[in-house]
Structure 1
Amino acid sequence: MKSWTRREFGRLTGAALLTALNQPKALGQAKARVVVIGGGIGGATVARYLAASATAIEVTLVEPRQSYATCFFSNLYLAGLRPFESLSHGYEALAKQNGIIVIHESAAAIHPAAKTVALNNGSKLSYDRLVVAPGIAFRDRALKGYDEAAMEIMPHAWNAGPQSKLLRRQLESMEDGGLFVLVAPPNPFRCPPAPYERASLVASYFQRRKPKAKILILDAKDSFNAQDLFQDAWNRH
């Protein structure tokens, strides 16, 4: 029996969804309606490609934020190598260029039998197909003592946005000779190279601005993604 990678499975399910929604409709029948909950990388990409690939589909994207900050490249922002504005993306072009209906609201409930999504403002959306792409969130207090208040003192900055700006300010305000401590999470977590890439780029910033500063990585794992490559770079630079 063939095993599928996640990428292959995504392509197959996407093709199946397009095939199902693009079936010929009776004269005068409304377009098929797809509601996508979540306007991050996954949700916005699905919405864009559905709208671009099938004229018989009306795509509605539900996302409470007015703009989205990408996690990728955020370490370059921390290192002072690119502006925060380059990480931020609004939804105007997505709506204008692809004909997507963008609703800046949060989804409150999904009713599968009725095929409706209830929004926080009390309105409802009907759908033929629903895509749920909520992204990730931090479990408050999963680590004893690390609650929302602590995150404002010791920012994780793994969700790009205000946390990224806070960590950047803290790096800038550090005294030369200070210590930056990074705690790498246990497996599994998204983007396995991210903590070590962050350490590398913070080190680059320190080399340029605070050459006496040091970095301490706390990592309970016996090995990590691309360890040989990172350690080789750290030894050389």
Structure 2
Amino acid sequence: MLINRRHLLIGSSAFGLSLSSSTVFGQARPRVIVIGGGPGGATAAKYIAKDSKGAIDVTLIEPSKQFVTCFHSNLYLGGFKDMKSITFGYGALKDHGVKVVHQRVMMIDREKKQVLLDDNSHMAYDRLIVSPGIDLKYDSVPGWGQEHEEKMPHAWKAGKQTEILRARLDAVPDGGTIVMLAPPNPYRCPPGPYERVSMMAHRLKAAGKTKSKIIILDPKESFSKQGLFQEGWEKIYPGMVEWLGPKIHDGVKSVDVKSSTIVTGFETYKNVALVN
């Protein structure tokens, strides 16, 4: 049976009841393992442990000891938040009775109802929640790959990448060009790239770099809240932001990381100060 997020929320009470019932027959506490310590996994682990009042044994498995949220990372980029304010540990989950294991899950054995960890140990479960988050398609831009993410940071996974992006943004000279390669649909947080552009423009303007330009090469014909964003850009950052849809730029043909060159069907952008 496939279970989506809506079904999980609707059935959470029945889920807890069905697990708790096993304790009536003298068995050990039912065991729930949650894979992934992002917003989805951490929230599920917290409320299963909290609402069951200790009747359910909840374990969260997450390799990282800290979680840096993408939700406010654009505010860090713009200088409105610091890195500490968007970085969270897992201590609060432990306060709710959640066991936190900092390892990576290598395999799920559904028949035996157990997971294999990267230290070759096994953990058994009665119910399993898999919430690993998302990852990047590094081959989606011709000429750019994971080995290039420091020179051309993506920063769609917050943390070190976010810090690199802000450092490179601060290094953009007045009059320099930034090229944003917006993602195609579907992707998490549709307004995200355009919020980022707004924070980039804000930081440039605050530094007196109003001759700089941000060019958005978008594979989409339109984007979330487009009218509001473009009106705001023209009003607050006049002449600094230019959005180009696919009918104009005709697609990104290649990226040369070494020379910071972006080739599209419409134009070639050379010596770009920052590519994101």
TM-score by length of 2: 0.80
1:68 corresponds to which residue?
Answer: 67
Distance in 1 of aligned mates of 2:48 and 2:169 = 41
Matched residue SS, 1:18: helix
Distance in 2 of aligned mates of 1:172 and 1:28 = 62
RMSD (Å) for aligned C-alpha atoms: 1.5
Once the two structures are superposed, the pairs formed by residues 1-237 of structure 1 within 5 Å of their partners are 8-23=6-21, 25-26=23-24, 28-54=26-52, 55-95=54-94, 97-209=95-207, 210-237=209-236
- Structure 1, unaligned stretches of length 5 or more? 1-5
Distance in 1 of aligned mates of 2:232 and 2:30 = 52
Distance in 2 of aligned mates of 1:17 and 1:146 = 44
Contact 2:32 2:125 in 1 (8 A): yes
Contact 2:23 2:30 in 1 (8 A): no
String of CA shifts for 1:150-193, please: whole Å, max 9, x gaps. 11211010110111010011011111221111111111111000
Distance in 1 of aligned mates of 2:141 and 2:206 = 34
Deviates more, 1:225-234 or 1:116-125: 225-234
Change (3 A) 1:122 1:24: closer
Deviation at 1:7? Answer: 6.2
Contact 2:177 2:214 in 1 (8 A): yes
Distance in 1 of aligned mates of 2:219 and 2:125 = 45
Deviation at 1:21? Answer: 1.4
Matched residue SS, 2:11: helix
String of CA shifts for 1:107-145, please: whole Å, max 9, x gaps. 011101110001010111000000001111112323222
Matched residue SS, 1:25: helix
Deviation at 1:8? Answer: 4.1
Distance in 1 of aligned mates of 2:98 and 2:233 = 46
Deviates more, 1:224-233 or 1:24-33: 24-33
Distance in 1 of aligned mates of 2:30 and 2:96 = 16
Q: Which amino acid aligns with 1:230?
A: F
Equivalent residue pairs, number: 231
Q: Which amino acid aligns with 2:227?
A: D
Change (3 A) 1:121 1:156: same
Give the share of equivalent positions with the same residue, in percent. Answer: 45
Deviation at 1:24? Answer: 5.6
Q: Which amino acid aligns with 1:125?
A: M
Contact 2:22 2:29 in 1 (8 A): no
Distance in 1 of aligned mates of 2:99 and 2:219 = 45
Structure 1 residue runs of 4 or more that deviate by more than 6 Å after TM superposition: none
Deviates more, 1:22-31 or 1:227-236: 22-31
Matched residue SS, 2:59: strand
Q: Which amino acid aligns with 1:16?
A: A
Q: Which amino acid aligns with 2:102?
A: H
Deviates more, 1:175-184 or 1:117-126: 175-184
Distance in 2 of aligned mates of 1:212 and 1:9 = 51
